[in-house]
Amino acid sequence: MTAGRNLVEVENLVKHFPIRKGFFSSRVTGYVQAVDDISFTVARGETLGLVGESGCGKSTTGRLLIRLLDPTSGRIMLNGADLAHIPPEELRTRRRDVQIIFQDPFSSLNPRKTVEGIIAEPLIVHRIGTKAERQARVAELLKLVGLAPDHARRYPHEFSGGQRQRIGIARALALNPKFIVCDEPVSALDVSIQAQIINLMRDLQKDLGLTYLFISHNLAVVRHIADRVAVMYLGKIVEMTDKHSLYESPKHPYTQALLSAIPIANPDRRRQRVVLTGDVPSPMAPPKGCRFNTRCPLAEQRCREIEPPLVDVGGGHKVACHLVTR
């Protein structure tokens, strides 16, 4: 139970999904290397933004952190306990400290349950309080997220997308968690509503002392809520630093590309054949060396052979690129 600066410490987290073929036995013919050896920390009360394209592994990381998926290897330290390697009993108790907010407000709430039933479920599962106490807690949570307590009797389909997301937030808060994984919580909402929800989340963070992992593909949104940002590509973290440094002076070519939104197309560079259609190489067969080398305009011979480590180039600004760390 260390009361260190960091609430969450992830070390060498790996998640490989086996690909099975065959109809009787399941022979494993390969692996999808969704998350490939990443490490990061999140300090108490801070928000770490996790950005990247679809398929880069950010959602997988989020689900690993709350143990909806089991890691292939690595450690997930929360408050001093390794979530990846504790017995089920203890895991169940620890679940109260880390919760998740989902992306799709339309599929994240059980259509057959009342709002009360949805928000109270975590309390019921952990046998907290009497029925009356739970009701009171639900009313309190609803007020906290900006809804009226008598909404508790209604059903999800009676609410708008933004309101449903608020309900999802209320549910995540039910157990008084310290750490919340936010998996693209505003991506499915209209822009004006996005702002409302982001502001709500910021207020809640301040008032309740929450720590967030904010996953998104939208850099503009992340800028509003994150303190630090990590950029992922094909299962690896390529750059990680505080917000200002990232947006003002990005060092990794990929980050620069993302920020300038210029697609990388350099016909002078020989391209490695891509197996899947789409721009990103398949996570089943990531390129040798730096994973970004197939699309990087500055790629050198070294980039195609040796994988660059994530190195601190000053002031906590970490980059994984040979050209930066030479």
Partner 1 sequence: MRHRLFVTGLTLLMLMVLMGILADLIATHNPVQVRARFRFRPPSLDNFFGTDNFGRDIYTRVVYGARLSISIGFAVVLLTAIAGTVIGLLSGYIRRLDNFLMRVMDALMAFPTIILALALAAALGPSTINIVVALSTVYTPRVARVVRASVLVVREADYVQAARAVGASNLRIMLEHILPNSMAPLMIQLSFIFAYAVIAEAVLSFLGVGPPPPTPSWGSIIAEGKDYIREAAWITLFPGIAIAMTVLGLNLLGDGLRDVLDPRMNVDSR
Q: Which of 73/110 has CB closer to partner 1?
A: 110
Query: 200-211: buried (b, 16+ CB within 10 Å) or exposed (e) per residue?
Result: bbeebbeeeebb
Instruction: Determine the interface stretch with partner 1 among 28-36, 120-128, 232-240, 256-264 (rule: CB under 8 A).
Output: 120-128
Cβ-Cβ contacts under 8 Å for 256 (sequence gap 6 or more): 250
Asked if 160 interacts with partner 1 (CB under 8 A), we say no
Q: Which of 105/281 has CB closer to partner 1?
A: 105
Instruction: Determine the interface stretch with partner 1 among 118-126, 130-138, 294-302, 309-317 (rule: CB under 8 A).
Output: 118-126
Asked if 128 interacts with partner 1 (CB under 8 A), we say no
Asked if 66 interacts with partner 1 (CB under 8 A), we say yes
Number of residues that bind partner 1 (CB under 8 A): 31
Report in angstroms how near the CB of residue 188 gets to partner 1 at its nearest. Answer: 11
Report in angstroms how near the CB of residue 122 gets to partner 1 at its nearest. Answer: 4
DSSP code for 8: E
Asked if 171 interacts with partner 1 (CB under 8 A), we say yes
Asked if 154 interacts with partner 1 (CB under 8 A), we say no
Asked if 53 interacts with partner 1 (CB under 8 A), we say no
Task: Provide the β-strand partners of residue 47.
Answer: 212
Asked if 121 interacts with partner 1 (CB under 8 A), we say yes
Helices (H), the chain: 58-65, 88-94, 115-125, 131-144, 161-173, 191-208, 219-225, 243-248, 253-260, 301-305
Site string for partner 1, 86-115 (x = CB under 8 A): -----xx--xx--xx-xxx-xxxxxxxx--
Is the distance from CB of 251 to CB of 317 less than 8 angstroms? yes
What would the two tokens of residue 144 be? 């906290």
Q: Which of 91/298 has CB closer to partner 1?
A: 91
The long-range contacts involving 121-128, CB below 8 angstroms and separated by at least 24 positions, are 121/171, 121/174, 122/96, 122/171, 122/174, 122/175, 123/174, 123/175, 126/96, 126/175, 128/175
Q: Which of 12/110 has CB closer to partner 1?
A: 110
Report in angstroms how near the CB of residue 42 gets to partner 1 at its nearest. Answer: 18
Q: Which of 80/111 has CB closer to partner 1?
A: 111
Asked if 157 interacts with partner 1 (CB under 8 A), we say yes
Q: Which of 170/296 has CB closer to partner 1?
A: 170
Is the distance from CB of 225 to CB of 198 less than 8 angstroms? yes
Report in angstroms how near the CB of residue 123 gets to partner 1 at its nearest. Answer: 9
What would the two tokens of residue 80 be? 């001093």
| Four-point Cα dihedral 314, 52, 44, 63, nearest 10 | -140
Asked if 163 interacts with partner 1 (CB under 8 A), we say no
Strands 6-21 and 27-43: antiparallel
* Distance between CA atoms of residues 306 and 296, nearest Å: 15
Is the distance from CB of 322 to CB of 306 less than 8 angstroms? yes
Interface positions, 242-301, toward partner 1 (CB under 8 A): none
Which amino acid belongs to residue 240? M
Pick the binder of partner 1 from 126, 202, 223, 304 (CB under 8 A). 126
Residues that bind partner 1 (CB under 8 A): 63, 66-68, 91-92, 95-96, 99-100, 102-104, 106-113, 118, 121-122, 125-126, 156-157, 168, 171, 175
